[in-house]
Amino acid sequence: MTTTAEHLDPAPAPDLQACLDTITAIDTDALDPDGQARLVQSLSQVVAVATAKKLQALASAERSRTAARVGAASTGQWAARLTNSDQVVAQRQVRLARGLDDRPAAGAALARGVISPEHAEVIVHADRQLPAHVTTAQREVVEQELVTKAQVLSPSALRRVARRALTAIEDDVAAVDAHENELVRDLEQHARTRTRLTLHDNDDGTVTGHFTVPTAQGHLLRKILDTITAPRRGRPGASRAQVGDREARTDWDRARGEAFCELVDHLPTDHLHPRTAATLVVTVDEATLRHALKVAHLDTDEALSAGEARRLACTARILPVVLGGASLPLDLGRSARLFSEAQRTALGTTHRACAADGCERPFAWCELHHDVPWSHLGKTDLARAVPLCHFHHRRIHDQHYVHHRQPDGSIAFHQRHEPPLAQRARNVVVPSV
């Protein structure tokens, strides 16, 4: 017997229908900014709670072998039929549901809506990557630590933190470093096995391609393309689509495509290991270069295993920032008006994007802003440099906005509240003749 979605009544249960009707009735256009923010937060919590309940149902169906009873090959296939979704997506949800069965703290946090399904997936994956000798009690400690961090970190940030989840139960820093390095090395090896490049001639004057490459090479390519397309960086091919003081809409996919063509056009053909026009910065301490098992970090905020970092340290245009070693002068005081390339490189080791809160425009697009303006005797020192994209650099100088630094170092902007026009007119002082 085969059960398909057509045989089922798609209407939700009456109590759920009432909830859906309430959500549908909300007039989003009638909300002020605070109301819009509350709605987005509330609906995100609703999605998390609903997903938790769906995962519980999938776990229950897996335990009771529901799929086998209705003729489906797996719970994932059964769920895909019911929801008209891709089987690979449904199977991934079943895998997460099984993982949350073993991680009750993460499941409970998801059911309360305080973490997202993406956070829960990171926590389950981190548990599966813990060493085999970790006890059940220790796993619970690690899980609770990650659940706590998941409430203040994005899933991608939590994923980076989770590589060092062992710190919750392990006092030996070297052991934690070695475990993190092993995880990153395994990820790199897996990435190399998935490396592919396909090209297809479309017979219309274009060629379509698709590639999958390891993170290090992918971020190097991204930095090169970002450097070429970065607004106002003054490099060949940089986008100059400006209308007065307003940035015109730019098709960035096309801009990157044109930048990629420019890159290919300028590839040297006299040897097979060319230098590139961009520099990938690898932050690594001296011990790691001397065969310690500890991860290094790209200036794009991705991790590298110790072995890969040592290999890249020998490659042209790969700049290793060795902590504890000699460096170029990075504090220029009042001796220079503009920040130097050495300062830009150094700042790139601590910032991967624009410093404005929530902005993800890449560091390569950013202009360096003086925290204390040069006109107010500010110094061109590294500690005073703030990377801002062109949009936020203009906004920080806009009198209609106020800004302040947040505890995490990011910059938050708020629109300045002006009095009504009539009130401003009354406040004007007319000089006597």
**Tens-digit pLDDT profile for residues 147-177:** 999 999 999 999 999 999 999 999 999 999 9
Residue 18 lies in a domain: yes
* Residues 161 and 224 occupy one common structural domain: no
Residue 308 lies in a domain: no
Q: What is the pLDDT of residues 289-333, one digit of tens each?
A: 666 678 877 766 677 887 777 776 665 455 556 555 555 555 656
Residue 66 lies in a domain: yes
Contact predicate 412/406, CB 8 Å: yes
pLDDT band at 123 (very low <50, low <70, confident <90, very high): very high
* Residues 75 and 114 occupy one common structural domain: yes
More confident: 326 or 73? 73
Q: Which amino acid is at 250?
A: T
The CB-side HSE value for 299 (13 A sphere, CA atoms) comes to 23
Residue 433 has a pLDDT of: 32
| Domain span including residue 236 | 204-240+250-261
Closest CA to 259 of 211, 233, 221, 219: 221
Residue 320 lies in a domain: no
More confident: 425 or 62? 62
Residue 155 lies in a domain: yes
* Residues 180 and 218 occupy one common structural domain: no
* Residues 89 and 121 occupy one common structural domain: yes
* Residues 126 and 231 occupy one common structural domain: no
Residue 425 lies in a domain: no
The Cα-based distances of 120 to 83, 99, 145, 155, 159 in angstroms read 21, 9, 13, 9, 11
* Residues 188 and 213 occupy one common structural domain: no
Residue 15 lies in a domain: yes
Residue 296 has a pLDDT of: 77
pLDDT band at 390 (very low <50, low <70, confident <90, very high): confident
Contact predicate 102/141, CB 8 Å: no
* Residues 130 and 13 occupy one common structural domain: yes
Closest CA to 229 of 202, 188, 196, 259: 259
* Residues 214 and 257 occupy one common structural domain: yes
* Across 325-352, average pLDDT: 70
* Residues 223 and 361 occupy one common structural domain: no
Q: Is the pLDDT of residue 248 over 50?
A: no
* Residues 236 and 363 occupy one common structural domain: no
* Residues 212 and 100 occupy one common structural domain: no
Radius of gyration of the chain (CA): 27
All residues at 6 or more sequence positions from 283 whose CB lies less than 8 Å from its CB, including other chains: 296, 297, 298, 299, 321, 323, 349
pLDDT band at 265 (very low <50, low <70, confident <90, very high): low
What is the number of domains present in the chain? 3
Residue 260 has a pLDDT of: 86
- Quote the mean pLDDT of the chain: 79
* Residues 216 and 133 occupy one common structural domain: no
pTM (predicted TM-score)? 0.66
